Structure 1
Amino acid sequence: MFSNLPHFVVLDLETTGDSPLHDRITEVALVRFENGIETDRWETLVNPGVSIPPFISRLTGITNEMVKDAPAFDEIAHKLYGYIEGAVLAAHNVRFDHGFLKSEFRRLGAVLRQKVMCTVKLSRRLYPEHRSHGLDAIMQRHSLVTCARHRAMGDVNLLVAYLALAKRELGEKRVLDEVAALLKGPSLPAGLDAAFLDEIPDSAGVYLFYGENNLPLYIGKSVTLRSRVISHFSGDHSSSKAMRIGQQVNRVEWIETAGELGALLLESSLIKERKPIHNRRLRSTRTLFSLSLTGGTDQIPLINIVTEDDIDPASFDHLFGFFRSKKAAMDALRKIAVDNRLCPRAIGLEGASAQGAGTGNPCFAHQIKRCDGVCAGKELPELHYLRLKQALIPLRLKPWPYPGRIGFREFNEVSGHSQLHVFDKWCHLGTVQNGEELEDLLQARSSLSFDLDVYNLLQKSLRKNPVIISLESPSRSVYHSF
C-alpha cells in the first residue's frame, strides 16, 4: 500500500449498535501491509454474547444464527492483537472501530494503545472539493464496487481499493504527506500543557473548554473522553467553528460519568447553566409551545396554544406536539384544519368565541367549502370534536409509562463507576452516586421542570430496553446497589 509505512493495518468492524459501552462486535476483518506489500488477511465472525437487533441484521446481513457458534471476543483477542500490534490502524471513521476495540480489550483487563489514522479525514484532505466522504459517496464518485457492503471484509476491500486509487490519481507522495500530517498528533494552542491529555480517561463523560478570563467556550460529551478531546486539536478541522474553538482554548476540564445517558444529561444541563459561546443549539432558551385540547365541545376555542410554563408532564393526554415558536404551532394547527375540513373559528384560528361558533354564523372556510359547517349548525359539535381528536393523533405525546418515579442505572464495567438517573413524568429529578444521595433526592420531592431535550433523550434511551428500577417503594437493596 504505502512503502514508507512499514506496518499498516486496514480494519473494519461490524457491531450490534453504535455504543462501545453497551454494544458488542459481531465481525472483524483486516488486511495488513508491510513496506507497501500485503502480508496478511484475516476475518472472523464474533459471538457478541447479546442479541443482534433486527435492523442491524437487515443492514449487515449478520444474524444471531450466524454468530451462535462463532468465537467470543476473548477467544480471538490474542490473534487480533498480533495483527495490529505496532501498526498504524486505519479505518473509515476510525474513532468508531478503535473505540469498540478499546472497550473489548478493557473488558479483558488490557489497555489498547494504538496509533490510528482515519480514512474519512484522509479523504477530506485528498479530495476537499467533495462534501461527502462516506463509503457510499466514495463508491459512487470513484466507480468502485463491492458485493459485500456493510460486511467487514467487503468494506475493508473497498477501502483498500480506494486508497490504491487515490495513490494512482494523486501520486504516492501527496497521499503520504497527508497521512503523515494526520499521524503527527494533536497541535495544542500556546499555554495548554499536553500533559493533561494523559490524565483524561477514555470513558464516558463531559468536557469543558475555557478561553480567556475563564470564559466557557464549548461543552461537549463523548463515550471516549480522551479521544474526543484530542480530536479537537488534530489539525483536521471540518469547520471554521471547530478551528476557532481549538485555537482559543487555554484550559480544559472534564467530568466522568458512568455511561452515555449520564454524559448527555450533564452536557445539556451544563450548557443551559453556563451558556458557552459555541454551543448554540442546546443553550437555546426559546419558549416552548404546545397545542392543548379542551375537555369538551362546550369550551371554545377547542384548541389553545400554551407555553412552557403551562406544559404539565402529568397532563400529556391533553397536549399535542412541541413547537419552538407560536407561529410553528399555528402553522401546524392550520394545516390540520385544512387537511381535515375542520372549522378554523372553532379551533381558535380566527379568534372564536362561544357565541360565534355553531350559531348559524358560518366561518369563511365554510363559505369556500373548506369546513364541514360546525359553525353553521351543519355538523354536530360532538362529531367535529371527535374528528379534531383523530386529526391530532400523529402529534400525540407519549404518556409517562410508569406508575411514578423510576431509576435508570448505568454502570461502567472498567472503572466500577455507577450512577442512577432519577426521572418522573419525563423530567430529570437528578443523578445520584449512592444510596444516601438517592434517599435524600426521593425525600426532597422536587417540583417537576419539563425540558424538551431531556424528554427526547429519555425516549431514545428507553427504546434500548434498559433495566428500569421503580422508586415509588424502593427496597433497601436499591439503596445499596451502587
Structure 2
Amino acid sequence: MARATQPMVFVDLETTGATATVDRITEIGIVEVDEDGEVHQWSTLVNPQTPIPSFIQGLTGITDSMVADAPLFESVADEVMARLHGRLFVAHNARFDYGFLKNEFKRLGLTFKAPVLCTVKLSRKLYPQHAKHSLDALIERHDLHMPARHRALADADVLRQFWQVLARDVDADVLDKAVSELTGRSSWPTHLDPALLDDLPEKHGVYRFYGDNDLPLYIGKANNLRQRILSHFSADHRLAKEMSLSQQVRRIDWIETPGEMGALLTEAQMIKRWQPIHNRRLRRSDELCTWRLVPFQHDDDEGLRPELAWARDLDWGRQDAVYGLFGSQRDALKTLRELAEDAQLCLATMGLEKVQTGRPCFGYQLKRCSGACVGEESLSAHTARLQRVLADWQVQVWPYGGPVAVKEGAAWHILDAWCYLGTARCEADVDHLLAQGRPTFDKDTYKILVSWLPKMVVEPLATQRETLS
C-alpha cells in the first residue's frame, strides 16, 4: 500500500504565521506521485491579503512585494483541490500544512478532507535511535538535495526524496505497517464517519464512545485524544474488550481539557454520571464508609476503638481523624481485621469480636493478640498502636479554608473539600460553579487531587477572582 501503489501528494506551505485560523498562506508547493511513480510538480505564490511579518520575510525570502501581484487563494483553490483529491497527503508537521489548507478552503465554503501522513512521526517511528527529526535533520542524515530551504516546492520535493530513501532502505511490510498506524485508516471502523479522523485533536481531553443511543458505551481520558482514540481500534484484533467496543461504537465525541489533571477530573465526574457499561474502574459503588475512633472506658482505663461511619453522616474533607475510604461495610471490616491481625491488636478490644469481659479473645489464644483483652496491655498502649497502624489510612483533611483555584493551561479548576466543582475561564464561570454547591464527595476525585495538588500552584479563590476576570 505504501509504495507507488497509491497516489500521493507531498505538500509544503509558507505562511504569514503559525495559527491556521488567523494567519494566511503565502506559497504552496505540491509534488504529486502517481500510482505508477510518475512525478508532477506545481507551485504558486499566494497573496495573503495581509502584511508578512519581517522575521518571516527573512526566513523564507518571500516579501510583500513578491506576493502583491500573486493570485488570491480563491483563484487557485480549484486547482489545489484537484491536485490533492484522492491522494495521501504527506507533509512535515502535517497537521500544520493540512490545517492551513483546510481553513483556507473553509473560508470559501469548501470542505477539504484527506488521509494525512506526517513525515516527522514517520521518521520517529522508523528511526527511533535518532533524537532529531526536523527537516534539516532529515536532509543531513539522508543526504537529501535541497536547493532552496524554506521555499514551498523545494521543501515538498525533499519529502519526496525522503520517501524514496524509505522505499529503498525500509522493508516493505514495515513501511506499510508504519503508514497504516500513523494514518489510522486501516483500522478505522467502517461504520464510523471517516470525517472524524480529520477532526481528532492532538490535545488533552475526555472522549465518549456511543452505540445506537445517547448513552455512552465507554468514557476515557487522553493526553493525546487522537492517538488514544485510534489506539482502541488498532488493538481491536488483539483484545476482546477492544474488539467488542469497536463493533458497538457508532458515534464519538470529546471534550478538550487544559491539561492532564483536568482530563482525569472530568473523566471521573462523567463516568459517575453516565455509568458506561464498558467502564468498570471509577464507576459508582455503594455509599462510602470509613472508620473513626471513639472513646471507651474499661474500669479505670480509657482508650479508643474504631466505629464505622457513613458518608451521609460526615463532612468529608473537613472531617478530622477518619481512616480509609471503603465502598462497603464488608470491605471496611475485612481491611480492619487484616490490619489488626498483622499488628497483634485485640479484636475484642476493638469491638470486632464478642467475648465476656476479662476473658481472652480468640487471637490471644493463638498468640496473635498482645493481651489488651486480659489486661496484659493497657488500653492507652493499645490505642497508641491502633493509631499508628491506621495512620497510613487517614483521610487527609482539606488543607485550605474554603474553595481554591488551580491553574492549568489557560483555565482554572475550582475545588473545595476534595470536590471538583468544575473548570472556569472567567469570573462568571466561577460564580456559576460556586452557586451550584459542592458535589457529593467522591473517592476517585479525592485520590486524583491528593496526588496532583502537591504538583500544582494552589491559591485561595478570593485571591484569584481578579485574575480570572
TM-score (norm 2): 0.59
8 A contact 1:296–1:385 mirrored in 2: no
Flag the structure with larger Rg: 2
User: Is 1:348 aligned with 2:351?
Assistant: yes
Q: 1:88 to 1:430 in 2, by over 3 A?
A: closer
The alpha carbon displacement at 1:351 in A equals: 4.0
Partner SS state of residue 213, structure 2? helix
1:319 maps onto 2:333 in alignment: no
Distance 1:195 1:285, change over 3 A: same
User: Which residue matches 2:306?
Assistant: 303
- Give the partner amino acid of 1:225: L
Aligned residues of 2:208 and 2:254 also touching (Cα < 8 A): yes
In structure 1, distance between residues paired with 2:193 and 2:367: 72
- Structure 2 counterpart of 1:249: 249
Q: Distance in 2 between matches of 1:438 and 1:189?
A: 40
Residue equivalent to 1:429:
421
Q: 1:467 aligns with which of 449, 457, 464?
A: 457
Q: Report Cα offsets for 1:226-278 as digits up to 9, x if no partner.
A: 33223334466541211222232221212122222222111111112112221
* Residues 210 and 251 in structure 2, CA contact (< 8 A), matched pair in contact too: yes
Q: Tell me, yes or no, if structure 1 residue 456 matches structure 2 residue 459.
A: no
Listed one character per residue, the Cα deviations across residues 137-194 of structure 1 (whole Å, up to 9, x for unaligned) are xxxxxxxxxxxx9x969xxxxxxxxxxxxxxxxx956545544553563243334222
| Aligned-residue offset at 1:301 | 7.7
Q: In the alignment, which of 383, 387, 398 is matched to residue 385 of structure 1?
A: 383
* Alpha-carbon spacing, 1:179–1:199, altered in 2? closer, same or farther (3 Å): closer
Alignment of 1:26-175 (within 5 A): 113-114=118-119, 116=121, 172=171, 175=174
**Cα distance between partner residues in 1 of 2:284 and 2:327:** 10
Please give the alpha-carbon distance, in whole angstroms, between the structure 1 residues aligned to 2:377 and 2:235.
67
Q: What does residue 239 of structure 2 align with?
A: 239
Q: Secondary structure at the match of 1:370?
A: coil
Contact 2:295/2:304, CA 8 A, preserved across alignment: no
Three-state SS of the structure 1 residue aligned to 2:376 is coil
Match of 1:477 among 462, 466, 469: 466
Q: Residues of 2 paired with 1:346 and 1:152: CA distance?
A: 63
Amino acid across the alignment from 2:451: K
Q: Tell me the residue number matched to 2:214.
A: 214
After the TM superposition, which of the residue ranges 449-458 and 363-372 deviates more from structure 2? 363-372
Contact 2:291/2:322 (8 A) holds in 1: yes
1:185 paired residue number: 184
Match of 1:329 among 307, 316, 332: 332
In the superposition, relative to structure 1, how do residues 185 and 391 fare at CA in structure 2: closer, same or farther (>3 Å)? closer
| Separation of aligned partners in 2, 1:234 and 1:368 | 56
Size of the alignment, in residue pairs?
Answer: 326
CA distance in 1, matches of 2:203, 2:303: 54
Deviation (angstroms), 1:421: 1.5
Q: Secondary structure at the match of 2:242?
A: helix
Which of 411, 418, 425 in structure 2 is aligned with 1:419? Answer: 411
Contact 1:182 1:236 in 2 (8 A): no
* Residues 114 and 262 of structure 1, relative CA distance in 2, 3 Å threshold: farther
- Report the AA paired with residue 389 of structure 2: A
Separation of aligned partners in 1, 2:362 and 2:4: 77
Name the CA distance, whole Å, in 1 between partners of 2:436 and 2:211.
38
Cα RMSD over matched residues? Answer: 4.0
* Local SS of the residue matching 1:182: helix
Change (3 A) 1:226 1:475: closer
SS in 1 for 2:341: helix
State the identity as a percent.
Answer: 39
Separation of aligned partners in 2, 1:236 and 1:4: 28
The TM-score, its normalising length taken from structure 1, stands at 0.58
Aligned to 2:411, the other structure's residue is in SS state strand
Residue 61 (structure 1) aligns with: none
**d(CA) in 2 for partners of 1:254 and 1:204?**
10
The change in CA–CA distance for 1:184 and 1:424 in structure 2 (over 3 A counts) is: closer
The answer on whether the counterparts of 2:272 and 2:283 sit within 8 Å (CA) in structure 1 is: yes
What is the CA-CA distance between 1:435 and the residue it aligns to?
0.1
Displacement after TM superposition at 1:213 (Å): 2.8
Which amino acid in the other structure matches residue 445 of structure 2? V
Deviation at 1:455, TM superposition (A): 0.7
- In the aligned structure 2, how far is the partner of 1:238 from the partner of 1:87? 31
Letter in 2 for 1:477: E
Per the alignment, do residues 200 and 152 of structure 1 end up closer, same or farther by CA in structure 2, a change over 3 Å counting? closer
> In the alignment, residue 343 of structure 2 is paired with which amino acid?
N
What is the letter of the counterpart of residue 375 of structure 1? C
> Is the CA contact 1:117–1:182 (under 8 Å) kept in the aligned structure 2?
no
> Any gaps of 5 or more consecutive residues in structure 2?
6-58, 60-88, 97-116, 133-169
Distance 1:422 1:461 in 2: 14
Q: Is the 8 A contact 2:236 2:242 kept in 1?
A: no
Give the deviation of 1:470 after TM superposition.
0.4
Runs of 4+ in 1 over 6 A off after TM superposition: 2-5, 85-89, 298-301
